[in-house]
Structure 1
Amino acid sequence: MSSDISAQTVKELRDKTGAGMMDCKKALQAAKGDIAQALESLRLKGLASADKKSSRKAAEGIIDSYIHTGGKIGVLLEVNCETDFVARRIEFQNLVKNIAMQIAASPTVEYVSTNDIPSDTIENERRIEALKEDLANKPEQIRDKIVEGRIQKRLKELSLIDQPFIKDQDITIEELVKQNIALLGENIKVARFERFTLGVS
């Protein structure tokens, strides 16, 4: 089988394991499309159970800060895990640092996930898109589809966990977090963050 793995096969493996899309795709490519072999590979890495841990309560963790070189951009970030033991692990602390750096490097990001975006913000974005000149002469059904596609793209621009990781563009922040859930064996949640830009209130 070629290295082109169908989206349907990737989805099937994701449904069976709960691992991230890119992890599933890489496992399938390495296994030449063999789902059973890819499944075993993900289990060995501990990725197959990451999603199952994501429903567990995460009340420990750390609040960390990152000040970008030059002192003009700063980030304050809270990331939670299940135990103080994991919060003290260097891997967890490195994850938090990486996420803080990601926020500093992502000026469009305002929310942890698209689920956190208020409905009135979404409606406002939808209204702006619907009034754009390039859509004026399109049939309503096509216009609605284009608007919805643009809205989804815009919401992902606002969402931290949907951003490609600055140190590895093949994975998103969500997948980076899942990798660390698998590594550390605990649920990990990005709770909240604040980005400060000098001179901007």
Structure 2
Amino acid sequence: MKISITQIKKLRKLTGIGIMDCKEALIKSEGNFDKAINFLRKKGKNIAIQRSVLEVKEGGLYSSVNDDQTFGVTIGLSCETDFLSKSKDFLDFLFMLSKISLLYNNKEKFLSGYYCGKTIQDLIIEKMGIVGEKIELKIFERIQSPFVTNYIHNNYKIATMVGFSSHDGINPTIARNIAMHITAMNPIAIDEKGIPDSIIEKEKEIISYQVKKENKPSNMKDKIILGKIKRFILENSLLNQKFIKDDKITIQEYMNKFNKNLKINIYNRITFP
């Protein structure tokens, strides 16, 4: 199967792995990106866990939280060039739409909603005529909880929102620290129960493949596999992760310092692309 340079560059951007390794992985997987990533991981390449392989596009993300901090919305606009995605004109438009998004519960209602006598969709079309590029609302994600906070990475490519069970014992700085941690560490789930069985089974397959090649007794290999799976679960469940600002404690222990009854109800970490 012939693999294009565009496919290779896309896989390289997704994984950070060298061009020749990406080419080999795509050939072996017949162009399937998920299978190519698994192939690279089986070879021992250090790649962040991929939730799904998204089409690489330019654009930006922004999230806003309402005044009483009980819900928030993240929106993402796509465009055609990196140059436009970094421009003041595009970012100002993104910020404006983000504030308006708080008035709506879903993407469809938002696009058909009105601002200054025009629908949001009409405003987007109008902006396309000004900048000369196709612009689309690709992302609209809303979360609700007794206390919601957000964090936007400074390149507007990652936006995180976190919903806590209470305001008690937690101030904006503490909440923001946890949102920053999620942005940096990209957990799969809040705790080990939230990690899908499909991800754990896939990880077992990769670990078993790697351990199988080691010259060790079978019973020792089984213990190594179990140990690696346990470590994988701890490293990818938010409450068990080591806090980025103090690696001597976990996120759960960090929250316990302020309120032992505090829980994280929900979070989302969205990347673009």
TM-score by length of 1: 0.58
The answer to whether residue 189 in structure 2 is matched with residue 111 in structure 1 is yes
1:1-201 map, 5 Å = 61-81=146-166, 87=167, 91-107=170-186, 109-132=187-210, 135-182=213-260, 187-199=261-273
Q: Distance in 2 between matches of 1:102 and 1:132?
A: 30
Report sequence identity in percent: 32
Once residues 219 and 232 of structure 2 are traced to their aligned partners in structure 1, the CA distance between those partners, rounded to angstroms, is: 20
From the two aligned structures, give the one with the greater helix fraction: 1
1:92 Cα deviation from its structure 2 partner: 3.5
Contact 1:77 1:193 (C-alpha < 8 Å) held by counterparts: yes
The answer to whether the 8 Å contact 1:74/1:197 transfers is yes
Mapped to 1, the partners of 2:165 and 2:230 lie a distance apart of 27
Whether the 8 Å CA contact 1:110–1:160 is kept in 2: the answer is: yes
Question: Which has the greater radius of gyration?
Answer: 2
- Show CA shifts across 1:103-129 (max 9, x none): 01113x111111211223222211221
Gapped runs of 5+ residues in structure 1? 1-58, 82-86
Gaps of 5+ in 2: 1-143
2:161–2:268 contact (8 Å) kept in structure 1: yes
Secondary structure of residue in 2 paired with 1:123: helix
Q: For residue 161 of structure 2, what is the amino acid of its counterpart?
A: L
Flag the 1:122–1:148 CA change in 2: closer, same or farther, 3 A: same
1:77-132 per-residue CA deviation (whole Å, 9 max, x = no partner) reads 11112xxxxx2x6833332211101001113x111111211223222211221111
Aligned residues of 2:188 and 2:237 also touching (Cα < 8 A): yes
CA distance in structure 1 between the partners assigned to 2:199 and 2:254 by the alignment: 27
Local SS of the residue matching 2:264 = strand
Partner of 1:105, secondary structure, is helix
Question: Would the aligned equivalents of 2:211 and 2:225 in 1 still touch at CA under 8 Å?
Answer: no
Q: 2:34 corresponds to which residue?
A: none
**How far apart are residue 139 of structure 1 and its match?**
2.1
In structure 2, relative to structure 1, the CA distance for the partners of 1:195 and 1:100 (3 Å cut) is same
Number of aligned residues: 130
Which residue does the alignment assign to 2:107? Answer: none
In structure 2, distance between residues paired with 1:90 and 1:176: 12
Conserved 8 A contact 2:170-2:259 = no
Alignment partners' CA distance in 1, 2:225 and 2:152: 37
Q: Looking at secondary structure, tell me which structure has more strand per residue.
A: 2
Please give the per-residue CA displacement for 1:116-166, whole angstroms capped at 9, x wherever unaligned: 112232222112211116545432211110001111111122111112212
2-structure distance, mates of 1:164, 1:96 = 16
Provide the rounded CA distance (Å) in 1 between the counterparts of 2:241 and 2:211: 29
Question: In the aligned structure 2, how far is the partner of 1:150 from the partner of 1:180?
Answer: 32
Distance in 2, Cα, partners of 1:111 & 1:149: 19
Q: Distance in 2 between matches of 1:171 and 1:159?
A: 14
Match of residue 30 from structure 1 = none
